[in-house]
Amino acid sequence: MTITCNVRPAAFLVSRGEIQAAIEKHTTLISEVQRGEDLYRTSLGWLDVGTQKIDELVHVAKHVNQIAEVMIVIGIGGSNRGAVAALEVLKRTTTSPTTLYFAGDTLSETRLADAMEVLKTKSVVLNVIAKDFNTVEPGITFRMLRSAMQAKYGNAYAQRIIVTGSKGSGQLYEVARQHGYTYLPFPSDIGGRFSVLSPVGLFPLAVAGVDIRNLLDGAYAMQQRVRTEQGEDNPAILYAIFRSLIRKKGIALESLVTFEPDLQHFIRWWIQLFAETEGKTDQVLFPVGFSYSEDLHAVGQYVQQGPRILMETYLDLQYEENGCVIGPSKDVVDGFDYLDDTPFSRLNRTVYQAALQAHSDDGIPCIELKCDSFLGAASLGGVFYFFLFTAYLSARLLGINPFNQEGVEQYKRNMYAELEKPGYEK
């Protein structure tokens, strides 16, 4: 699976010469990022997916499949968005006796009650994921569901708890050791939003029946390309450089545009990745996402003729055609006879081209990320890695640390103080 990055001619705000000059200017930095900078070595565990060990994950997943109808995955943000995104895309090609149910990403009492009902009526395993087991949303959800598991299964409940977390005082490794839970590592050198291709994302997907080896194979193939190719031939470099230049031209937002509804959760994963990685300066694009063609009838007018503050990144990644052909309407005159005998898949391709052409012709900066493979585990793994690497490179072009998130911590401190957590008094 390969990706090509095409800058549409309408993106006249940035010339080809500017792109080439920027690549030359940043050649040393780009090479350092491709190697993995020593400065960020403790955060680059995701950079080489070839180091991931999955035998234990597959073994534990098979055990879960034997004992559980549902695995409730408790996590928030990077701890579950990758798995949610992948499962939504691949659900049509997976079979598993165990359904995934996601919880712990909200403090809504109603959502907790929904999870409790699942636990009450189904055979359940819990998988709680937390690199820092201090975050309230997954932590307190785990407590509530864990208590319900104890009431339902008695002393045997511990055999149905799997924790994916860190070592250290008060962290999930210690909880697992003390209470006999199954422990899987949340690698210390991988942050949450970069964790989809680690045990954090791979284990739930293995339980759901996803071929995680195939997913990693696709990611590894993409890794080999974006970490070796130079200049504009490397789609990650071209994409990152264009993003860095377009912001200086007054563009404030980037929308990831997809044409398969199953990619909406992938958009949410992408938004978090770039928002948390780059959002530490006012010289950064705000990430949003549109799902066309539905959103053409919701925000399309704003995009077409509203203020010129937006660029669009078209992700050309669609499912394999299934042979559906539009048949004639024999009894009802509906005005669509011009589509008789047309492959239905042509409609999605046509709206893709029509929207891209209309927007770029009207002066909206557009980039196409064209994939040469249909949606599947390998292609999705490649796209995941492409964006992980590009987020890292884009942040370094901005001159910022890609891996911290001090802004997120401020709301946590406020919440801890309000809830009177020891050490966080007002």
The predicted-structure confidence for 366-392, as pLDDT tens digits, reads as follows 999 999 999 999 999 999 999 999 999
Residue 422: per-residue pLDDT: 82
Q: Is the pLDDT of residue 10 over 70?
A: no
CA–CA gap between residue 383 and residue 5 (Å, rounded): 12
Beta bridge partners of 311: 254
Residue 424: per-residue pLDDT: 76
91 catalytic per annotation: no
- Helix crossing, 235-247 with 212-226: angle to 10°? 70
Residue 11: per-residue pLDDT: 58
The mean pLDDT value for 75-85 works out to 95
Beta bridge partners of 411: none
Q: Is the pLDDT of residue 272 over 70?
A: yes
Mean per-residue pLDDT over the chain, rounded: 94
Show Cβ contacts of residue 243 under 8 Å, excluding neighbours closer than 6 positions: 254, 285, 311, 394
Beta bridge partners of 255: 288, 312
21-32: string of b/e by CB count within 10 Å (b at 16+)? ebbeebeeebee
Residue 406: per-residue pLDDT: 75
The residue among 51 and 32 whose pLDDT is bigger is 32
The mean pLDDT value for 225-247 works out to 95
Which residue in 321, 198, 298, 241 sits closest to 22, CA to CA? 241
Active-site residue among 297, 330, 420, 425? 297
Q: How many residues belong to the chain?
A: 426
276 catalytic per annotation: yes
CB 142 within 8 A of CB 164: no
- pLDDT confidence tier of residue 294, bands split at 50, 70 and 90: very high
The residue among 6 and 115 whose pLDDT is bigger is 115
CA–CA gap between residue 411 and residue 426 (Å, rounded): 13
CA–CA gap between residue 58 and residue 86 (Å, rounded): 17
Active-site residue among 137, 276, 278, 368? 276
Residue 50: per-residue pLDDT: 87
Residue by residue, DSSP assigns 181-207 as: -EEEE--TTS-GGG-TTSHHHHHHHHH
Residue 161: per-residue pLDDT: 98
Show Cβ contacts of residue 421 under 8 Å, excluding neighbours closer than 6 positions: none
294 catalytic per annotation: no
- CA atoms within 13 A of residue 318's CA, in its CB half-sphere: 20
Q: Is the pLDDT of residue 409 over 90?
A: no
Which residue in 218, 239, 233, 198 sits closest to 374, CA to CA? 218
The mean pLDDT value for 134-158 works out to 96
- pLDDT confidence tier of residue 221, bands split at 50, 70 and 90: very high
The mean pLDDT value for 137-149 works out to 97
Residue 369: per-residue pLDDT: 96
Percentage of residues in the chain having pLDDT higher than 70: 98
- pLDDT confidence tier of residue 166, bands split at 50, 70 and 90: very high
Active-site residue among 152, 167, 412, 421? 412
Which residue in 131, 77, 22 sits closest to 393, CA to CA? 22
Q: Is the pLDDT of residue 52 over 60?
A: yes
Show Cβ contacts of residue 322 under 8 Å, excluding neighbours closer than 6 positions: 345
Q: Is the pLDDT of residue 109 over 70?
A: yes
- In single-letter form, the type of residue at position 189 comes to D
Kindly give the pairing relationship between strand 124-130 and strand 70-74.
parallel
